[in-house]
Structure 1
Amino acid sequence: MRFHSLRHALLPLFAVLALAACHSKDEASQVGGSTPEAAVQGSIDLLKAGNFDGLWKHALPPADYATLRTDWSRHTAANQPPVSAADKAKFDEAVQKLTGPDAENKLYAEMQPKLGQMEQQYKDQLPVMISVGDALLKNGVAQNKNLDSEQKAQANQLLDVLAPWAQQAPWFDQARAKQAVGVVVATARKLDLKSPEQLRTMDFDTAMAKYTTGYAGLKQLLTIYGLSVDEALDSVKLSTLSNKDGRAVVKIDYTLLGKPLSAESTLVQQDGRWYSESLISSVREAHERLQQPAAAGSTALAALPAPAVAASAATKN
């Protein structure tokens, strides 16, 4: 789960939006929750703040959090194919373009005439293209063996809200494009990426800091085009559906783009505190894969949930 996972951590928006927003700062600063709802509340506070290290620490029992950190450091660049000279050159060119002097104005000047051309070419086609993409995503959800029927229904509900937004969002608006370029450049500078090799050898703490920076930039970009992640998080209402024998299900009602939605989160009790059932399982399964032969172990890192997905797993079974 090195930096290539950042893209996957940030793009699956439903994994972030199918969460609740609460304000239990005391719970967020502790490991686990004193009640199932408090566990969800603490996770959401950390998610809203973009504190991914804190989210892992809060949502996992101490032993599993320690396992996660240890497993992370076991993965090195040796487990991946070497970076080619051509890929390194492309990386260096992209970084220079995004972070060089006056990058904001240079990039926008390059983009501005293309926006008009793209609007003329794709304005009428874009809704159809998004509809096709929506259908492909729903098919992927239907074929996903890791999701149960309830999770598939929740994912489809989110797609039903997000697709119309994507079809109507002002993607070709010049003023918004200029703002977006500014956010992308500012985020790239804060990420301060020096080489492809750096992405492969980040330790856990460094990687979490990079995720935090990327997540903040993504939220800004979405807000520019009319989708506020924080508003969705702030809209949440929680209620406990069941709590028996150390296992509880919490219902999450929230509003996304004016549409009411709901999800469910399953939590388990350990040593008097409540944690995400799905997140615990994901970390333990990834750890087991690491104990297998090298060929299998080299892919175990990909099995670990990315931070935004981990945020969902911490609150949505």
Structure 2
Amino acid sequence: MPALPSSICPAPARIRAVAATLLLLAAAACVPGSSAPEAGPDSPVAAVQQLVDDLRRDDLAAYARHAVPEPLHARLATAWDQGRTLWPLSELPLDQKFQGFLAALSAPRSEQTLLAAYRRQFAGAQKEIRDAATTLGLFTVQYVANEGSYSDEERDHYRQLIGALSRWGQRAPLADPARARQVLPQITLAARTTGLGGPDGLHRAGMEASLQRLGPFFVRVEHALAAYGLDFDAALAGMRVTLAEQTGDQARVRIEYTLAGEPIDALVRVERRGGRWYLSDLLRRAETEAGAATLAGGSGGPPSRTPARR
């Protein structure tokens, strides 16, 4: 899901904070080292189900291995080590701020700092949060509709997902200070436990170790969201994956699930490479990140990062 360009969301500080928070919460919905080669799934449905199962277990390292062919995975791991990509975290909203997000959560006394900020910006502001969720949903749907980098299938899926999250944000008890006092310390402790909050912590640890350490952190975030009525575990557990159509090495798979009480019915494109099936849009973005990293590495200039398309 894309982060909103600041030029189309000139909201007051409190509304911007709500918008950024909702986008970070949505990360878990999009998601969703080198091990010995595994036998690949032998059908488009099995390939998609394998990724769903990885996300259900919060096994981000396995998800990364299963999402792309092994040579591409190796290139992405190298690019990660060089500080040129954070794939597959680049599939998340606000991915370029993820290191800073971890650092803020991991900082000493961060729970007190964040609770103080919460009291200033969120506590008792249910109407403002409800209005922000509505506005955020409208702007993001418009952005997705006009952004040319999305496939038609992605555009339709994101439209449904954004609508469900926006309506959830309008009714969720995000302004409840008692709930925040319970949830925020749990998240900050989980962030510290990763050991990735220091400067360039993600790049220093490498892709495999970072993804392994982030698994328990995302478990805690998902539990926090469930306390607000957004249960991603239930959505993944109840997901139905079926074949819509297949022609040779190209296929479309239907995924049906319920998020925040709303039904989602979407199609994803899948393609076969080297006997294995992969999500086409995810594969395309991974290739873009690896290709951009390779180009930057051979230019002789400073490292650069091409933002992933979402």
TM-score interval, smaller chain? 0.7 to 0.9
Looking at structure 2, the residues matched to 232 and 158 of structure 1 have their Cα atoms a distance apart, in angstroms, of 12
Deviations 1:100-149 (A, max 9, x none): xxx6xx5698579x379831xx2333322222222221222123221133
Residue 81 of structure 2 corresponds to which residue in structure 1? Answer: 73
RMSD: 3.4
Point out the structure with max Rg over C-alpha: 1
Residue 144 of structure 2 corresponds to which residue in structure 1? Answer: 141
Distance 1:11 1:210, change over 3 A: farther
Looking at structure 1, the residues matched to 202 and 121 of structure 2 have their Cα atoms a distance apart, in angstroms, of 35
Looking at structure 2, the residues matched to 137 and 280 of structure 1 have their Cα atoms a distance apart, in angstroms, of 24
TM-score (norm 2): 0.74
Which of residues 264, 271, 274 in structure 2 aligns to 1:271? 274
Which of residues 170, 183, 193 in structure 2 aligns to 1:167? 170
Within-5 A mapping of 1:107-256 = 114=119, 118-119=123-124, 122-193=125-196, 195-256=198-259
Residue 29 of structure 2 corresponds to which residue in structure 1? Answer: 17
Residue 37, structure 1, aligned to residue 45, structure 2: yes
> Amino acid of the residue matched to residue 182 of structure 1?
P
Distance 1:172 1:135, change over 3 A: same
Residues 238 and 250 of structure 1 are in contact (CA less than 8 Å); yes or no, is this contact kept in structure 2?
yes
TM-score (norm 1): 0.72
Deviations 1:159-190 (A, max 9, x none): 22111211111123243222212322321221
Residue 262 of structure 2 corresponds to which residue in structure 1? Answer: 259
Looking at structure 1, the residues matched to 180 and 219 of structure 2 have their Cα atoms a distance apart, in angstroms, of 18
Deviation at residue 48 of structure 1 after TM alignment: 1.2
Q: State the secondary structure of the residue aligned to 1:54.
A: helix
Deviations 1:194-235 (A, max 9, x none): 632434433112221243233222212211111100111112
Distance 1:66 1:124, change over 3 A: closer
Which of residues 108, 112, 125 in structure 2 aligns to 1:96? 108
Looking at structure 2, the residues matched to 226 and 96 of structure 1 have their Cα atoms a distance apart, in angstroms, of 29
> Amino acid of the residue matched to residue 118 of structure 1?
A
Deviation at residue 41 of structure 1 after TM alignment: 0.9
Q: Percent identity?
A: 23
Deviations 1:258-317 (A, max 9, x none): 2211111221122322122223222222232234335585114x43x8xxx8xxxxxxxx
Residues 239 and 256 of structure 2 are in contact (CA less than 8 Å); yes or no, is this contact kept in structure 1?
yes
Residue 304 of structure 2 corresponds to which residue in structure 1? Answer: 298
Task: Count the aligned residue pairs.
Answer: 267
Residues 248 and 267 of structure 1 are in contact (CA less than 8 Å); yes or no, is this contact kept in structure 2?
yes
> Amino acid of the residue matched to residue 287 of structure 2?
R
User: Which runs of no fewer than 5 residues in structure 1 stay unpaired?
Assistant: 1-7, 21-28, 78-87, 310-317
